[in-house]
Chains A and B, each alone.
Chain A
Amino acid sequence: MEANTHVHRDDVASKLGMWLFIFTEILLFGGMFIVYSIFRYNHPVAFHLAGEELNDTMGLINTIILLVSSMTVAMSITAMQRGQVRRSMQLLVITIILGLAFLVNKYFEWGAKFDHHIYPGSSFLRELGTGDTLFFGLYFMMTGLHALHIIVGLIILVWVAFYIQKKRTRPDKYVFLENGGLYWHLVDLIWIFLFPLFYLIH
């Protein structure tokens, strides 16, 4: 191809940079998972009972939403690599819609908790004791930070969609789409661990 044109671009380095950032994210959430397991070890009964308070169905729906959205964003990259820009865009938009659906679910889930007087620092939680306070503190902190990552991920994906629209991301230059996808998968990856630890294990 145009071997002689000088392109100031290094896709491998861009991806490596994204992965380095992802490593810091893994260690950030990893640290919180360690805190969770230590507190669970210290307060087994309270964690057992508090875990039953969480809505399994809501968690399962959000798990399925995130898994499907992970596939659609991965497919969006496949479409871009094959030169199917329109399809790539469509798959990206589906991913964004699924991300929004996740947040809507989260809103109702947290809303239901607030209605039951369960929120950080509530007097109801204080009466339940240290174990419950710790469990719900971690629940709000970890799912909250995760939801924040969903919001950031959505902003990045909208940004990518804008770039595709402007043809700044295109079949011969799509590392931004790949990196946006990586971020979105990271969010999925964290949820894969959050879901069983908070919602399923009683």
Chain B
Amino acid sequence: MSEHKTHITSYTTHFMVLLALLILTWATVSITNINLGPYSVTAALLIACLKATLVLLYFMHLKFDSKILKISFSAVMVVFALVILLTFFDYLFR
């Protein structure tokens, strides 16, 4: 049996994360409302990635989980990034 203590995320932390997520949501809505042209896609995606990171680290507990989970998650992200990269190379330079 594993004897290391399980990390318990406090209610306060969860609430602060929600607050951050709501503020970021408000930020995406206002950024896309002022027309930044092509940058609005980039800005919206950046904020979405930030929100996703918060959910993954705190709500999904990845920050406090074992190394094997962190490594395998990163590996999946690398694979996904490579697929995106290769697809776009194909489309942009064919």
Which residues of chain A have a CB within 8 Å of any CB of chain B?
3, 7, 11-12, 15-16, 19-20, 23, 26-27, 30-31, 34, 38, 41, 56, 60, 63-64, 67-68, 70-71, 73-75, 77-78, 81-82, 178, 181-182, 185, 188-189, 192-193, 195-197, 200-202
Contacts and interface: CB of A to CB of B under 8 A. Distances in A.
B55 A185 contact: yes
Interface of A, helix, strand, loop or mixed by DSSP: helix
Contacts of B55: 70, 185, 188-189, 192
Interface of B: 1-2, 6, 8-11, 14-15, 17-18, 21-22, 25, 28-29, 32, 40-41, 44-45, 47-48, 51-52, 55-56, 58-61, 65-66, 68-69, 72-73, 76, 79-80, 83-84, 87, 91
B1 A3 contact: yes
A201 B59 contact: no
A30 B15 contact: no
B59 A74 contact: yes
